[in-house]
Amino acid sequence: MGSELTDTANGSYVSIRRDPRLNALLPVLLLSTYFTASFILRLLRGGDLASDEAQQVAFSHALQLGYGNQPPLYNWLFYCFSRLFGVSVATLAFVKNATLLATCIFLGLAARKIVTERETAWISVLGFLSLPAVFLLSQRDLTHSVGAFAVVAIFLYVLVLMAERPSSGSYALLGAVAGMGFLAKYNFAIIPFATAVALLLEPGLRRLVLNWRLAVTIAVGLIVAGPHVYWATTHLDAATGNTLMEMRAAARSAIPGQLNAAWQLVASIIKCSALTLAIFAAAYRGHIRTIFSASSEWTRVIGRMLVISMILVFVIMLSLDATLMRPKWISIFFVAFPLYLALKVDAAGIHVPEAITRFTMVVGTVIFISLGVVFAGSFH
């Protein structure tokens, strides 16, 4: 079951698919099997809680505007589910896996809005699963970042909706999601700013920023995030916690601080994206040069969002004299990276259903091996 490629006059590739249902079924099976297995294996690991899980349990007894050095959205989410199902390992596992699945769904929905081929949209979902912060770190201990992943995916979906049908309602919804993003992870605040700059640099989408409705977005965002911002400013020591100290915690080095910060950031970017890029290159072998030379309105917007976000992170590192950067701290920005890859394939006009099958098989192998390693390591 495969396809035959034909070269069109403009150099793009057209695929004659023999059984497109199989190409759509494999990723669905992977998603359902993986998240079911993740849930079951977490139950089998028992009640030894990792630090983030223990924090969720400790803070699950009351709703508060703030709890410590992390914003409260994921705590609120767990609180709601714990009221329904009780405070347990099962509830912890369900909330985390359901949140990751929601991220996959909204990334897929965003991709389907702006790519031509249904198969191509799967790159955004499969690529997300291949991010180390997702298949490895999330299965170990992440909670707040998991919540932020979902909000980034929702933000991207609402952004596409707003571009398709600009209205006061869509602008308000984008503001609400942006406010939720700040409540999920403080560094999410970079994303709306990077998005605005990226849109301004794209002539066909500049109108979205140069619109009076943007005031609605800002107002709604401030209303959603405002109560916690007030709490954070009145509990500054608790809100910042050890984060700044940890970012400045690198050992003394003969390397100038700016160079060290740049190296730390570049290394983290590579760790966040290299595996996904390698799997993508293997799946689309023979077409990589064509894919990365292609461009479209949305490839430029998403690509600029990623670049601008990293520049802003670097500026913040310099302003804080930060000498340490962990990949998990910038992982939320790379939720958009698989969507960018999907858009590049779409812009190139390359339709290779076998590539999605290869992508699915390699990603499945990686994430299930990692799941097994995390499960086995929990008993040592």
Q: What is the pLDDT of residues 160-169, one digit of tens each?
A: 999 999 999 9
What residues contact 169, with CB distance under 8 A and at least 6 apart? Answer: none
Burial (CB count within 10 angstroms: exposed 0-12, middle 13-18, buried 19+), residue 60 = buried
Higher pLDDT, 380 or 88: 88
Mean of the per-residue pLDDT values for the chain? Answer: 90
Q: What value does the mean pLDDT take over residues 26-39?
A: 96
User: Quick one: pLDDT band at residue 128, thresholds 50, 70, 90?
Assistant: very high
For residue 226, the model assigns a pLDDT of: 96
Distances (CA, A) of 96 to 60, 87, 103, 142, 271: 15, 14, 11, 9, 23
* pTM of this structure: 0.91
Least confident of 88-97, 172-181, 258-267: 258-267
pLDDT tens for residues 318-342?
998 887 899 999 999 999 999 999 9
How far is C-alpha 143 from the geometric centre of its chain's CA atoms? 13
Backbone angles phi, psi at 91, to 5 degrees: -65, -45
Phi, psi at 374, each rounded to 5°? -60, -40
190 falls in which pLDDT band (50, 70, 90)? very high
pLDDT digits (tens, 9 = 90+) for 264-308: 999 999 999 999 999 999 999 999 999 999 999 999 999 999 999
pLDDT score at 322: 81
Confidence band, pLDDT 50/70/90 cuts, at residue 377: confident
What pLDDT, on a 0 to 100 scale, did the predictor assign at position 251? Answer: 45
- pLDDT over 60 at 27, yes or no: yes
DSSP E strands, the chain: 3-7, 13-17
Q: What's residue 19's pLDDT?
A: 59
* pLDDT on residue 2: 45
